[in-house]
């Protein structure tokens, strides 16, 4: 399929609530999955949601072995998650720095639930049911927010903790690490 353009903050398509997938056999679903894979690989990102490539479906892709953008992040299983539901397993939250391919060049300190259960389906309709914490939980919450029209700056509580990646993290020399 294809590497797609990633929509950037300000595009109203990033503010929609994504439509649930109802047909796991559909060509649109399987084309979207391939485009998400191709696009995320091309930009070496941690995750990508269908609305970011202009597709109005509740599908996200996340995961990596290691990643230059977040050099201290532990591995996260590479996962396509369809129609996800997130359930916090406690009220505990933790803050860490996030970036977003739709908000290039910036990082912000974002509170997220520390431990979650997430459920949904893989692209073949098989159930996914996992417990996650730490960076894994953060990535899932970030990507699933894209399905309800939320970008991470709208989750921040202190906008003084929003800045340019090159200023905040000059050691991230990978030019794509924005
Ligand atoms: Ni994002």
**Domain locations along the chain:** 12-168
Q: What is the pLDDT of residue 178?
A: 45
Q: What is the pLDDT of residue 172?
A: 85
What pLDDT digit, counting tens, does each position of 129-173 carry? Answer: 999 999 999 999 999 999 999 999 999 999 999 999 999 999 886
Classify 12-168 by CATH class.
alpha beta
Determine the distance separating the centroid of ligand 1 and the alpha carbon of 99, expressed in angstroms: 7
Determine the distance separating the centroid of ligand 1 and the alpha carbon of 46, expressed in angstroms: 9
What pLDDT digit, counting tens, does each position of 59-109 carry? Answer: 999 999 999 989 999 999 999 999 999 999 999 999 999 999 999 999 999
pLDDT: is 10 or 172 the higher one? 10
Q: What is the pLDDT of residue 21?
A: 98
Determine the distance separating the centroid of ligand 1 and the alpha carbon of 22, expressed in angstroms: 24
- For the chain, give the secondary structure using H, E and C: CCCCCCCCCCCHHHHCCCCCCCCCCCHHHHHHHHHHHHHHHHHCCCEEEHHHHCCCCCEEEEEECCCCCCCCCCCEEEEEEEEEEEEECCCCEEEEEECCCCCCCEEEEEEEECEEEEEEECCCCCEEEEEEEHHHHHHHHHHHHHHHCCCHHHHCCCHHHEEEHHHHCCCCCCCCCC
Is the per-residue pLDDT at 43 higher than 50?
yes
**176 pLDDT tier (thresholds 50, 70, 90):** low
Residue 143 is a catalytic residue: yes
């Amino acid at each position: 399929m294809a590497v797609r353009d990633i929509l950037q903050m300000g595009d109203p398509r990033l503010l929609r609530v994504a439509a649930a997938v109802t047909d796991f056999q559909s060509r649109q679903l399987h084309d979207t999955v391939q485009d998400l894979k191709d696009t995320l690989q091309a930009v070496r990102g941690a995750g990508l949601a269908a609305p970011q490539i202009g597709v109005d479906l509740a599908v996200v892709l996340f995961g990596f072995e290691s990643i230059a953008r977040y050099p201290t992040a532990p591995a996260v299983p590479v996962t396509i998650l369809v129609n996800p539901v997130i359930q916090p397993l406690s009220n505990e939250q933790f803050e860490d720095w996030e970036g977003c391919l739709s908000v290039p060049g910036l990082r912000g300190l974002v509170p997220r639930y520390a431990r979650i259960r997430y459920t949904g389906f893989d692209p073949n309709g098989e159930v996914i049911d996992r417990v996650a914490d730490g960076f894994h939980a953060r990535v899932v919450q970030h990507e699933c927010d894209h399905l309800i029209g939320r970008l991470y700056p709208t989750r921040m509580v202190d906008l003084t903790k929003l800045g340019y990646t090159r200023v905040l993290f000059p050691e991230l020399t990978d030019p794509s690490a924005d």
